Structure 1
Amino acid sequence: MRIPPFNPYIAVVIGVIAVSTSAVLVKLANGTPAAIIANYRLLIAVIIMAPYVFFKQRQEFKFIHKKDWLLSTCAGVFLAFHFILWFESLNYTSVASSVVLVTLQPIFAFLGTYFFFKERFSQGAVISMVIALLGSIIISWGDFRISGMALFGDILALLGAITVTVYFLFGQNARKRLSLMPYTFVVYGVSSITLIIYNLIVQNPFFGYPAEHWWIFIALAVIPTFFGHTLFNWALKWLSTATISMGIVFEPIGASLLAYFILGEKVTASQWLGGTIVLFGLFLFVMSTSRKRNVTISKKYQ
C-alpha cells in the first residue's frame, strides 16, 4: 500500500472535531425549522461538489446500474429524515443527550444486519450492546425527570440514529461499486430534493432568516460535512473501520465541550453517568465486532 500523503490519524482527529460542531451550529440557528437547516446544509454541499463532479467524474454516471440508483435514492431519503429528526431533537433536549443517543447508530446497524442478513453476534457484542442501551436509559430517565419535552427530544434523537442506520444499510451496497464523490453527490442531491418537498408540504419558508443563520448553513455544509465525514471516508483507505468508529465515539465529548463553552449548556449528573456508560459500551462493541487489518503508515508519522 502506498504511503498516505497526510497522516490519517490526524485526519481522524480533525474529522472528530469537525463533526462535533454540527449540533452546536444547529442550536445557534435557533428559530429556523430543523428541516430548513438540514435542507440548506445538504443543498449547499451539493452546490460546492457540483463543479468537481461534473468536470472530473461525470462519465461515471453513465455506468451507474439501475439497482445502484435505487439504493442511492433510498439512502438519500433516509439521510434527509435522519437530519430532520436529529436537528429537531436539539430543539427539545441538550446537545450532550442528543449526540450521545445518535451515536448509538453502530448498535442499530448491527441489529439491522442481524435481522436482515442473519449476521451473528459474539457474546462480547451482546454484552456491550446491553451496557450502551443501559446508559441511554439512564440519560432518558434523567431527562424525563427534568422535562417531558427533553424526553421527547431523546426519542427523536434515537429515531435519528435508526434512520441513519437505514441510510447506511441502503448505501453500503451501492458504495462498493461507486466512487466516493459521485455516490455522495447522488445521495446528497436526493436528500436535498426530499427536504425541499418536505418543506413545501409543511409550508416552511425558504427565505427570511437572519444573515447569521445563512453563515451557519454554509458552516454546516463545509465543516462537519467536508472536514468531517469526507475526511473519515478518505482515512478509510489507510485505517480500519474500527479505528474510524472509535474516533467517532468521541464526538459526544467534543460536542458537549463546545456546547458548554459556546452555548453555556451544563451536563447533568444523569447525562454524565449515562453518557459515560454509553461510550464505554460503544467502545467495547466496536472492539468486539471489528476485524483487524494491517495499516501501513510512513515512519515519519510514527
Structure 2
Amino acid sequence: MSQLLSFWRRISGRVYLGIAVLLFGSASAVTRRLMQVGALHSIDGRNPLSFCNVLLVGNLCALLVLCLVYGRPQLLTSFQRLSGRDYLALLSVALLAGALAPSLFFIALEQTNVNNVILIGRIEPPLTLALAVVFLKERTNIWIVGGGALAFVGVLLTIILQAHGAEEVMVSMGRFEIGRGELWTLMGAIATAIATVISQIGLRQVPLGLFAIVRTAVGSAIFFLIVLQFFGVNHFADILTPSVWQWMLIYGAVIVAGGQLCWFQGLKTTSAAEVSLASAFGPIAGFLAAYFILGEPPTVAQWIGGLVLMAGIALNQLGVSRQIAKQKTSVGLQELDLEVGFKGI
C-alpha cells in the first residue's frame, strides 16, 4: 500500500509539473493577446489592458489566491522570526524577480514577438550557473557547463540571425545592433538569474508559501511606486475598469497563481532532476502557445537558435542527472521555483 501511495505521489507530482509548465509556457502568448484585446477596446485612446495594468492587477489577483492557500497564522509567526539578512534577501528577490524582471519581459512583449522572448529568456539558466560557480563555488561537471555554453550559443544565434523590420527600434552596442525587445528580454533574464542566486544564498530556510506571498506582495508594491514616481497616478486611470479585473481574475488565478500552486505541489513529490527536465520543456510549450493563440510560427532564425538551445538543455539535463546521482545533492525550492523563467508576473 505504501509503495502504491509513493508511486501515485510521484506520478501526480509529474502531472502537476506538466500543468505548471504548460501554464507558464503560455504566459507570454496570453499576455500579448490580452494587450491586443485591450487595444481593440481602448478608452479615450488608452489601452485598459496595458502592461502596467496587467502586471499590477494580475499580481493582486494572484496574491489573493496565494493568501487563501498559504495564509495561515503560523506563516505570520515565521515571517516575524526571519533575520535581518532574510528580510534583505526577500526584498532583493522581490525587487528583481517580482518587479523588475516581469516589467522588462512585459515591455519586451510589446516590442518583439513572443518566440523571441521565450528563446532569449532561456539565457537565464546558463547565467545562473555562471553566477553560482563564481559566487557560490557551485560544483558542476562538463555536461552542465557544455549544455550551458550551447544554450548560450543558441540564444546568440537567435539574436544575430534575426531579421528586423524597418519599423523596429535598434540599439547599437559597439559594432553590434540588437532590437529593443531582445535587449529588454536579456535584461529581464539577468535580473531573474541574480534573484535565483540570492535565493540560493539566503532563502533556503524560508517557507515556500511565505516566499511566494512576500515576493508577489512586495514586488507589486515596488512596481506600483516606481510607476507612480515616473508616470504619475494618471497612468493607472483605467485600473478600476471592470473588464480589466474580469480578465485579470482569470489571468492571475489560472496562469500566475494556478501555475505556481501546481509547480510548488510538483516540487514536493519529485526529484530535482525531474523538475529540471520539466522546466526544459518550457520553450516548446511557449512555441505551441504562440502558434495556437497568436498564430506566430517560429522564424528560420528561431528554429536554428531553438534547436541549438534545446541541444544545450538536453546536455544540461544529462549533467544535472549525473551530478544528483553522484553527489545526492538537494536543491532549494526557491531555486527551483525561479528556474522556469517568465511566469506571467
**TM-score, structure 1 as length reference:** 0.87
Alignment-derived partner of residue 252 in structure 1: 283
Shift of 1:77: 0.3
Residue 46 in 1 paired to residue 51 in 2? no
Q: Distance in 2 between the 1:105 and 1:287 partners?
A: 18
Contact 2:33 2:293 in 1 (8 A): no
Give the residue type in structure 2 aligned to 1:111. Answer: A
Cα offset for 1:196?
A: 0.6
Equivalent residue number for residue 128 of structure 1: 147
Q: Which residue, out of 201, 207, 231, partners 1:203?
A: 231
Deviation digits for residues 181-221 of structure 1 (CA, Å, limit 9, x no counterpart): 11211111110111111110222622416654433322332
- The question of 1:182 aligning with 2:182 is answered no
Residues 237-276 of structure 1 aligned to structure 2 (within 5 Å): 237-276=268-307
What do you get for the CA RMSD once the two structures are aligned?
2.4
Moved more, 112-121 or 12-21: 112-121
Q: Which residue in 2 is equivalent to 1:278?
A: 309
- Structure-2 residue corresponding to 1:58: 76
Q: Call closer, same or farther: CA 1:219–1:38 in 2, change over 3 Å.
A: same
Residue type at the aligned position of 2:29: V
Alignment of 1:1-302 (within 5 A): 3=6, 4=9, 7-30=12-35, 31=47, 32-51=49-68, 52-55=70-73, 57-79=75-97, 80-146=99-165, 148-149=168-169, 151-203=179-231, 205-208=235-238, 211-290=242-321, 291-292=323-324
Amino acid paired to 1:286: Q
Change (3 A) 1:5 1:256: closer
Relative to structure 2, which stretch is displaced further, 46-55 or 154-163?
46-55
Moved over 6 A (4+): none
Separation (CA, whole Å) in 2 of partners of 1:85 and 1:96 = 16
1:180 to partner: Cα distance:
1.2
Segments of structure 2 that go 5 or more residues without pairing to the other structure are: 36-46, 170-177, 329-345
State the secondary structure of the residue aligned to 1:29: helix
Give 3-state SS (helix, strand or coil) of 1:265's partner: coil
- Per-residue CA distance 1:245-289 (angstroms, 9 max, x = gap): 221221222222122122121211111111121122122113213
Measured in 2, the distance between the counterparts of 1:175 and 1:251 equals 25
Q: 1:212 to 1:278 in 2, by over 3 A?
A: farther
TM-score normalised per structure 2: 0.77
Cα shift at 1:60: 2.0
Once residues 56 and 64 of structure 2 are traced to their aligned partners in structure 1, the CA distance between those partners, rounded to angstroms, is 12
* Amino-acid identity (%): 20
SS in 2 for 1:236: helix
Q: Alignment length, in residue pairs?
A: 294
Q: Which amino acid letter does the alignment assign opposite residue 65 of structure 1?
A: S
Unmatched 5+ stretches in structure 1: 295-302
Asked whether the equivalents of residues 30 and 293 of structure 2 are also in contact (C-alpha less than 8 Å), the reply is no
CA shift, 1:38, in A, is 2.1
Cα deviation for residue 29 of structure 1 reads 2.6
